[in-house]
Structure 1
Amino acid sequence: MLSQQDNEVLTRVGPGTPMGELLRRYWTPALLSSEIPEPGGDPVRVRLLCENLVAFRDLNGRVGLIQENCPHRGASLFYGRNEGTVGAPGTPGPGICGLRCPYHGWQFDADGACIDMPSEPPTSTFKDRVRAKAYPTHESGGIVWTYMGPADTITPFRDFGTESLPREHQLATKLGSTCNWVQTMEGNVDTAHISWLHMFDAAEEVPDDGSDKPGYPSNAMTWKFWIHDRAPRLEVQDTWYGFRYAGLRTTPNEHTNVRITEYIFPYSTIIAAVPFNTRHLMVVPVDDHNCFRYTFNVSVDANPHGYGGGPLHDYSPFETPFTRQAGGITPRDYVEDNTYLIDRDVQRTETFSGIRDFVSQDLMVTESMGPVYDRSQERLGTIDKAIIRMRSLLIRAAKSLTAEGTTPPALAGPDHDFTRLRGADKILADGEDWRYLGTDDDPAVQEAEAFRRAEVADAADAPTVTQPAAGE
């Protein structure tokens, strides 16, 4: 358990709080690029780390993220006009454009500069001394990221693999949750709960398909492993970016299945999958009581069968009784107001939770703790090693930054390659060490990379097809 003081440090993210100041040192998802798709389109409200902001894409395509309240009298710039002039080809400069406040016409560009103040005399220079708070933005992987820390501590963008990802392979979603961000994060580093919260009775009856042996199990067999051994042993490996942790389970045939999840400081995870996984699940605090779950691709899927990461492992589809509610920013169907559509008869006879939607099972347990859970009341066990480690890293980093100005961990740097991080899942051979799984030394990773290179080469060698000119 934590002291109430440490629980406050861990969960409070507003300006001036230790955790809030720590998280502001990292490039953070602010919204999806798809929320502001068109130059000159409608602005969007953004609440992030307890600050109310407005995002917009100006007529030149630049993304601005500025304070919601106009510096003049506080009217919301969400209701402003996204207008201006577009730079013409062959003319210097990109043109003058930005959000114009509906109250008195003051206009602010993507950098927060007041570029027009038509309600003041033409000779006035007042606009040159007025700025809206604005944060730098960077688009990558279908997400608009922002840096909210001090200008003199800004770091390069942490590239998880999205910078070189072709547009057709970019896939990013976000899903809102009405609880503190740490509660959601703790579910992401808790491998034990899948044997309970996400389980269904028929998983125990899955027939042995021959993959319960050293190597890569089928999707169906992994569910059987989870229900067969519901008390996994946890091991944690510290890394420069956070840690990796392994959940070890004994299979029905007395082998050891390992699920390896990555924790990337401060708020990202890569969940285990067979044979490996690169997709991120990142939890971003809206404020102390709300958060968004972002998921995004960082690499081209090298598996033609669409499961895991290795091209030579054919994983047949496996039916479960669960649905998956769409991500994105659509309204949720499963919420506390309708008790997550729990079906008590299904809970008694079919699934452990009685909630049909897979992700909503997670939301139910984390939101039911209340907006900010008092961790001084909890009692932790051996299955909570990864949670304890994550909390320790976060609290120590926040306190060290506040008290001593210590540089936060896992920032972008020449020795920090964030594109080579992967979760993994495998049945171990006797004496096999799980720590190499998902790394560049893993044969499954090497196999997938060779497959990807071959596909790239084939695409480069393909003949170019030209369209005939009109009339031909």
Structure 2
Amino acid sequence: MTPEQNDLLCRVEGAAPMGQLMRQHWMPACMIEEVAEPDGTPLKVRLLGEDMVVFRDTNGRVGALDEFCPHRRASLSFGRNEECGLRCLYHGWKFDVDGNAVDMSSEPVDAKLRSTMKTKAYPVREAGGFIWVWMGDPGNVAEFDPPNWAAAPDDKISIVKMHGACNWAQVLEGSIDSAHSSSLHSSNMPAALDVAGSTATDTAWLRPSADKAPRIEVEKTPFGFRYVAIRKPIVDADKQDYVRMTLFVAPFTVHIPSNDRYHLSQMLVPIDDVNTMFYWIAWHPTKGIGQDEWRRFCGAEVGKDVEPVTFRKVRNAENNYLQDRDAMKQGDFTGIYGIPTQDMAMWESMGAIADRSEDRLGSSDKAIFTFRTQMYRAAQAVQQGEAAIGTVEPRVPHGKLMSFEGMVPKGDDWRNLNVSDEELRIRANQAARKGRTVEAAESVA
């Protein structure tokens, strides 16, 4: 990629086409737990280079407002959250969750300004453990399409949150890179003879394959693409393949292969051009893993591994991610604790925005190549006034999308694994249209 192409793929602030693309999708602003308390502390949030403040009012309604008071631009994050509104400390102007000024104590009671004053308020939804905001055209708010984990009970959804000091695209490329897990995470995902699929213990995910060079195959879809990493299993390699399917749901969601206890999804959300919020969701309708256990497993406990409020890492570039070289000599592959921090060390080492013109891609990078070309072209389309990827028909409801992990008999088509009825209908319609096009062309000939 040229530097100009790389910028189009990566940059999200202001009028950047990729940022405008993302504004046609609902964005996760924060976890519900961060603003769970009515009249609690307002939360500063930055998305796509925009600053907002999220709060829950006295009646339990959630608001997301422009962080800066429209009066003199003081931050509302310091404000008093009370009596169904957020009051700026500077002059006492108070706004409700819809952005209406409900009190302006520094202005005369008959001032016309009182009846017309509003501040920017973002439409809000709550689902799946997250507060979602609409940052696009306020006159054309898209229907909210909840993610697949939102169907699980609240107590079966566990979330890791961690700040990444680099651009969103290189974080997302890590999430769709199945090959790296066999090396970078090999101490956390070791091969084992006595398992038939990914098997979760308290400290690791056991795998039925020691193959570090998977065969990658990709299928583009209306929502983005799905791809598989096909590995030789330890047992019966002549009869079956070990298949791990990952789904990229544009523009920032990835469903990675499950294990025997819980499903796994990630959201790689741009804070701005050079910062990303990493969310890792473990969930299941009936089984799952507890919130505390999940964060402990990932090395992402709040107050221990990540800072409260900011979710910045205790193990970071400044302290070399507390890499333990003695542990490496004793068999730990990276010497870095926690799967997310191992990833962060790699992503952040590329720089704030990776220079993709220097990459030398291999056969294991097919999903990376697909992501770059697909999203680059999607940003170009938005730049030319077209709708964003994933927002036009045919659409597949996000709640229907699932990854796959397991043994598959040799010769079986992986494209039929975990495919929803909606996608099957789309495929049939596309095949029919293609047939009609071929028939018409032959008639003309």
TM > 0.5 between the two?
yes
* 2:5 partner SS: helix
* 1:286 partner SS: strand
| TM-score between both structures, scaled by the size of structure 1 | 0.79
Q: How does 1:133-212 map to 2 (within 5 A)?
A: 133-200=120-187, 203=190, 206=192, 208-209=193-194, 211=195
* 2:381 partner SS: helix
Report the Cα offset of residue 53 of structure 1. 1.1
* 1:262 partner SS: strand
Report the Cα offset of residue 34 of structure 1. 0.9
- State yes or no: 1:326 paired with 2:274: no
Distance in 2 between the 1:276 and 1:169 partners?
A: 11
Residue matched to 1:282: 267
Q: 1:323 to 1:268 in 2, by over 3 A?
A: same
- Residue of 365, 369, 373 corresponding to 1:388: 369
* 2:85 partner SS: strand
Q: How does 1:436-447 map to 2 (within 5 A)?
A: 436-439=416-419
Specify the code of the residue in structure 2 equivalent to 1:239: T
Report the Cα offset of residue 171 of structure 1. 3.0
Report the Cα offset of residue 6 of structure 1. 1.1
Distance in 2 between the 1:161 and 1:407 partners?
A: 23
Residue matched to 1:377: 358
Q: Is the contact between residue 286 and residue 292 of structure 1 (CA under 8 Å) also seen in structure 2?
A: yes
Distance in 2 between the 1:27 and 1:202 partners?
A: 33
Q: 1:155 to 1:105 in 2, by over 3 A?
A: same
- Residue of 122, 127, 134 corresponding to 2:109: 122
* 1:151 partner SS: coil
Residue matched to 1:57: 56
Q: 1:372 to 1:109 in 2, by over 3 A?
A: same
Q: 1:224 to 1:79 in 2, by over 3 A?
A: closer
Q: Is the contact between residue 378 and residue 389 of structure 2 (CA under 8 Å) also seen in structure 1?
A: yes
Q: 1:275 to 1:396 in 2, by over 3 A?
A: farther
Q: Is the contact between residue 40 and residue 55 of structure 2 (CA under 8 Å) also seen in structure 1?
A: yes
* 1:279 partner SS: strand
* 1:64 partner SS: strand
Q: 1:167 to 1:323 in 2, by over 3 A?
A: closer
> What CA RMSD, in Å, does the superposition of the two structures yield over aligned residues?
2.7
Distance in 2 between the 1:339 and 1:233 partners?
A: 33
**Percent of aligned pairs with the same residue?**
37
- Residue of 258, 272, 278 corresponding to 1:273: 258
Report the Cα offset of residue 414 of structure 1. 8.7
Distance in 2 between the 1:263 and 1:279 partners?
A: 13
Q: How does 1:179-328 map to 2 (within 5 A)?
A: 179-200=166-187, 203=190, 206=192, 208-209=193-194, 211=195, 216=197, 223=206, 226=209, 228-253=210-235, 254=237, 255-274=240-259, 278-296=263-281, 299-301=284-286, 324-326=298-300
Report the Cα offset of residue 105 of structure 1. 1.0
Report the Cα offset of residue 224 of structure 1. 5.7
Report the Cα offset of residue 161 of structure 1. 3.5
Specify the code of the residue in structure 2 equivalent to 1:422: M
Distance in 2 between the 1:167 and 1:229 partners?
A: 36
Q: Is the contact between residue 32 and residue 173 of structure 1 (CA under 8 Å) also seen in structure 2?
A: no
- Residue of 430, 444, 456 corresponding to 2:410: 430
* 2:298 partner SS: coil
Q: Is the contact between residue 123 and residue 133 of structure 2 (CA under 8 Å) also seen in structure 1?
A: yes
Report the Cα offset of residue 386 of structure 1. 0.4
Report the Cα offset of residue 344 of structure 1. 1.6
Specify the code of the residue in structure 2 equivalent to 1:416: V
Q: Unmatched 5+ residue regions in structure 1?
A: 85-96, 307-321, 442-472
Q: Is the contact between residue 181 and residue 288 of structure 1 (CA under 8 Å) also seen in structure 2?
A: yes
Moved more, 55-64 or 163-172: 163-172
Q: 1:46 to 1:224 in 2, by over 3 A?
A: closer
Report the Cα offset of residue 273 of structure 1. 2.6
Distance in 2 between the 1:217 and 1:67 partners?
A: 44
Moved more, 347-356 or 244-253: 347-356
Specify the code of the residue in structure 2 equivalent to 1:407: A
Residue matched to 1:21: 20
* 2:109 partner SS: coil
* 2:139 partner SS: helix
| TM-score between both structures, scaled by the size of structure 2 | 0.83
Report the Cα offset of residue 135 of structure 1. 0.7
Distance in 1 between the 2:183 and 2:282 partners?
A: 28
* 1:419 partner SS: helix
- Residue of 365, 371, 394 corresponding to 2:346: 365
Report the Cα offset of residue 348 of structure 1. 3.4
* 1:171 partner SS: strand
- Per-residue CA distance 1:110-137 (angstroms, 9 max, x = gap): 1112222121111111123322122111
Report the Cα offset of residue 169 of structure 1. 2.8
- Per-residue CA distance 1:290-329 (angstroms, 9 max, x = gap): 11112335651368xx7xxxxxxxxxxxxxxx95313568
Distance in 2 between the 1:246 and 1:187 partners?
A: 15
- Residue of 313, 318, 326 corresponding to 1:345: 326
Q: Is the contact between residue 246 and residue 260 of structure 1 (CA under 8 Å) also seen in structure 2?
A: yes
Distance in 1 between the 2:349 and 2:365 partners?
A: 19
Distance in 2 between the 1:60 and 1:412 partners?
A: 36
* 2:6 partner SS: helix
Q: Is the contact between residue 176 and residue 291 of structure 1 (CA under 8 Å) also seen in structure 2?
A: yes
Q: Is the contact between residue 200 and residue 261 of structure 2 (CA under 8 Å) also seen in structure 1?
A: no
Q: Is the contact between residue 276 and residue 422 of structure 1 (CA under 8 Å) also seen in structure 2?
A: no
Q: Unmatched 5+ residue regions in structure 2?
A: 290-295, 308-312, 422-445
* 1:124 partner SS: coil
* 1:231 partner SS: coil
Distance in 2 between the 1:351 and 1:169 partners?
A: 31
* 1:435 partner SS: helix
Q: 1:79 to 1:280 in 2, by over 3 A?
A: same
Report the Cα offset of residue 229 of structure 1. 1.9
Q: Is the contact between residue 197 and residue 352 of structure 1 (CA under 8 Å) also seen in structure 2?
A: yes
Report the Cα offset of residue 374 of structure 1. 1.4
Distance in 2 between the 1:81 and 1:274 partners?
A: 45
Report the Cα offset of residue 390 of structure 1. 1.1
Report the Cα offset of residue 35 of structure 1. 0.9
The structure whose Rg is larger is 1
* 2:272 partner SS: coil
Distance in 2 between the 1:56 and 1:412 partners?
A: 32
Q: 1:202 to 1:83 in 2, by over 3 A?
A: closer
Report the Cα offset of residue 363 of structure 1. 0.9
Report the Cα offset of residue 359 of structure 1. 1.9
